[in-house]
Amino acid sequence: MKFYSFLILFTAFGCSVNGQDTLPEPHLENIKQLTFGGDNAEAYFSFDNNYLTLQITNPAWKVPCDQIYLLDLNQEVNKSELPRISNGKGRTTCSYFLPGNKEILYASTHAASEACPPPPAPRKDGKYLWPVYSSFDIFVADLKGNIVRQLTNSPGYDAEATVSPDGKMIVFTSDRSGDMELYTMDLKGENVKQITNGLGYDGGAFFSPDSKKLVFRASRPQTKEAIDEYTTLLKEGLVAPTNMELYTCNVDGSDLQQITKLGKANWAPFFTPDGKRIIFASNHFSTKGYDFQLFTIEIDGKNLEQITRKSKFNAFPMFSFDGKKLVFSSNRNNGGTRDTNVFIADWKP
């Protein structure tokens, strides 16, 4: 999930950010567009930096809800349909390569139904909410779309899985405890350990370059009203994702630290190649809520720096394993449509 549903809501808006489209993005050079049309997001590198796995919704391809696709970075960019590497059933999300670059993991609802699960019904209060589909489980597939094993089989939501750079551990989000918490497991789906336990939605976790720490987004309702709303919505299979801050912890859950205190939605965090900063998406500065830019911040919460300045949606950043490239999703260059595409750039620290 990882805020992907924000795309549908926010990509319809204009292309300038308070006149910032003309301002430079000095950390990004040789920006190249990799996809053309539809909603393309959560693109993540293979361990050898040669491929991306990403999720796509594209009516032109007869893909009504997210499926997982493969993008070969060694081929010339073209506008043809990419090879699908999920099985085309249900709704999928949060794909990530496993060591060896021959398999990926992703979450899917297909075991419960081959149809796309329905979106939440419109609410009288107009609040923007995410569905937390209890039918999501985590699977491993080869690059031809064949599912080779299932990693989770607990009742409830299991998704948002990523793999440590050393290739030994998976982190994921689950509501098996009755709350949305982070868990780790090995690559076989064994040795499952709960590593967060604060009330609120913990998700979208990624490992540090040395595989010793995690960065993730979290909601932490404090007032009775906020707590009641969170727990009531969760019982309905819903969460409100509009107030999130970033946290870090060790992979065993110790040394929990809140990194941002910016307000609004701070999410899609990823460590910079040196492990000293975190890049993330945020709308904390926005007056209307739908302006998301990439920022970096030091792991002690100091020295916030804006990275992107073009379009009103930039998110899902990931660095290549050699630290030379940054891939991200953006609605720049979409000609005023709702399209969100994947871009790659040379990273200049």
In a domain, 86, yes or no: yes
Q: Encode burial over 45-72: b for 16+ CB neighbours within 10 A, e otherwise.
A: bbbebebbbbbbbbeeeebebbbbbbbe
Q: Look at residue 1 and tell me if it is in a domain.
A: no
CB neighbour class for 168 (10 Å; exposed up to 12, middle 13-18, buried from 19): middle
Distance CA 282, CA 306 (A): 10
pLDDT of amino acid 41? 97
Count of domains for the chain: 1
Amino acid in the structure at residue 187: L
Position 36 in a domain? yes
**pLDDT score of 158:** 98
Q: Left if phi > 0, otherwise alpha if psi is -120 to 50, otherwise beta: which for 135?
A: alpha
Report the pLDDT value the prediction gives residue 22, as an integer from 0 to 100: 65
Q: Would 300 be classed as within a structural domain? A: yes
CA-based R_g, the chain, Å: 18
pLDDT along the chain (349 residues), means of 10: 46 42 88 97 98 97 97 92 96 98 98 95 85 97 97 96 98 97 98 97 98 98 96 95 96 98 97 98 87 97 97 96 98 94 97
Domain of 223, CATH number, reads 2.120.10.30
pTM of the shown model? 0.94
3-state SS of the chain? Answer: CCCCCHHHHHCCCCCCCCCHHHCCCCCEEEEEECCCCCEEEEEEECCCCCEEEEEEEEHHHCEEEEEEEEEECCCCCCCCCCCECCCCCCCEEEEEECCCCCEEEEEECCCCCCCCCCCCCCCCCCCCCEECCCCCEEEEEECCCCEEEECCCCCCCEEEEEECCCCCCEEEEECCCCCCEEEEECCCCCCCEECCCCCCCEEEEEECCCCCEEEEEECCCCCHHHHHHHHHHHHCCEECCCCEEEEEEECCCCCCEECCCCCCEEEEEEECCCCCEEEEEECCCCCCCCCEEEEEEECCCCCCEECCCCCCEEEEEEECCCCCEEEEEECCCCCCCCCEEEEEEEECC
**230 belongs to a structural domain:** yes
The burial class, CB within 10 Å (0-12 / 13-18 / 19+), for 148 is exposed
Looking at this protein, which amino acid is placed at residue 156? G
> CA torsion 47→6→175→298, rounded to 10°?
60
Is the residue at 309 inside a domain?
yes
Residue 197 has a pLDDT of 97
Res 6: pLDDT: 46
- Show the domain range for 178: 6-347
| 346 HSE (CA, 13 A, CB side) | 4
